[in-house]
Amino acid sequence: MRMIERLRNQGIGDEIVLSVMGSVPRHLFIEEALASRAYEDVALPINYGQTISSPWIVARMSELLRANGSLDKVLEIGTGCGYQTAILAQLARQVYSIERIGPLLTRTRIRLHKLQIRNIHLKHADGLRGLPEVSPFDGIIMTAVTTHIPNALLEQLAIGGRIVFPKGVQKQNLCVIERNVQGYIENVLEEVNFVPMLSGVIKS
């Protein structure tokens, strides 16, 4: 509850996002040794050199993705420990999430199964190709930083849909790309700090 109050004070205004975040036990997504820090507003290590995004980032990206109201199909690139995925599962009808590190995804699969979240579909692949067979998505969220969105992914966005992602190289900013009938509109927002988007998959 203190985490939710802090997020509200930090400017998160979407009460639905706040209530969903209040209902997902964040400590179950990180190692026991770090569990006491689960509700602090920090990114924490989750193995394989990756990090679980801070509560503020998860809340901010979720409210940006939801800006047009409820979501039908969402694609997440960079499943990691699955915390953002679990939040999205309550904000969208179906969530598809892609992770390139096989062993990390295996652990996340078990964790999400234990939590009995049924509307999540996990895939071990290079996420930058998206999931053309399931598209169009009304929301796409990327949890690793990249310099640009490949065309293959832009094409998988529904008209009226949006992509939320960290953009940059050294200096990174949250970025929202909206698709309308005329084309794509990009908005650059606050500065952030993410691990890089990498290509290819890691099997074991």
Is 53 one of the catalytic residues?
yes
| Contacts of ligand SAH in 71-110 (CB under 6 A) | 77-78, 80-81, 83-84, 98-101, 104
Q: Which range binds ligand SAH by CB under 6 A, 7-15, 32-40, 170-178, 195-203?
A: 195-203
Give the residue with the Cβ less far from ligand SAH, 182 or 199: 199
| Contacts of ligand SAH in 111-170 (CB under 6 A) | 126-128, 143-144
Q: Does 51 bind ligand SAH (CB under 6 A)?
A: yes
* Among residues 46, 74, 75, 112, the one that binds ligand SAH under rule CB under 6 A: 46
Q: Does 199 bind ligand SAH (CB under 6 A)?
A: yes
- Nearest-angstrom CA–CA distance, 58 and 40: 13
What is the per-residue burial (b if ≥16 Cβ within 10 Å, else e) of 12-50? bebeebbebbeebebeebbeeeeeeebbeeebbebeeeb
- Nearest-angstrom CA–CA distance, 6 and 120: 28
Give the residue with the Cβ less far from ligand SAH, 189 or 202: 202
Ordered DSSP codes for 153-183: HHTTEEEEEEEEEEEESSSEEEEEEEE-SS-
Determine whether 94 is exposed, middle or buried from the number of CB atoms within 10 Å of its CB (0-12, 13-18, 19+): middle
CA-nearest of 43, 12, 26, 5 to 192 is 43
Minimum Å gap between C-beta 186 and ligand SAH is 20
The size of the interface with ligand SAH (CB under 6 A), counted in residues, is 25
Residue listed under structure tokens 């997504």:
29
Minimum Å gap between C-beta 181 and ligand SAH is 29
Q: Residues interacting with ligand SAH, by CB under 6 A? A: 46, 50-53, 77-78, 80-81, 83-84, 98-101, 104, 126-128, 143-144, 195, 197-199
Residues serving a catalytic function are 53
